[in-house]
Amino acid sequence: MRRSRHADIRKALREHPDGLTRKQIQFYTNLTADCIKMALPVMPDVYIDRWEKQRYGRDWTPVYIAIPVPENSPKPDINFFKK
């Protein structure tokens, strides 16, 4: 079973409250680009804060941030979705 890298990504993002691009996350965590690409969409406390224009070309890059989830945050009621 593989170890989840979410904690590594979350730590890097929380150490940089202004946000990080995927390449910056890769630099600070030493994880592969594919690992980061797969992890970010499934992390509920990570979202795209803004988009930055690249120096060259017309591409835009998302800048991700991680928000702290309160310890007493309620979990969703499964029965709510069965109605």
- Is residue 25 within 8 Å of 11, Cβ to Cβ? no
Going along the chain from its start, the domains and CATH numbers come out as 6-82 (1.10.10)
pLDDT at 77: 72
**What is the pTM for the complete model shown?**
0.78
Average model confidence (pLDDT) across the chain: 87
pLDDT in tens, 17-28: 999 999 999 999
Q: Is the pLDDT of residue 35 over 80?
A: yes
- Is residue 29 within 8 Å of 36, Cβ to Cβ? yes
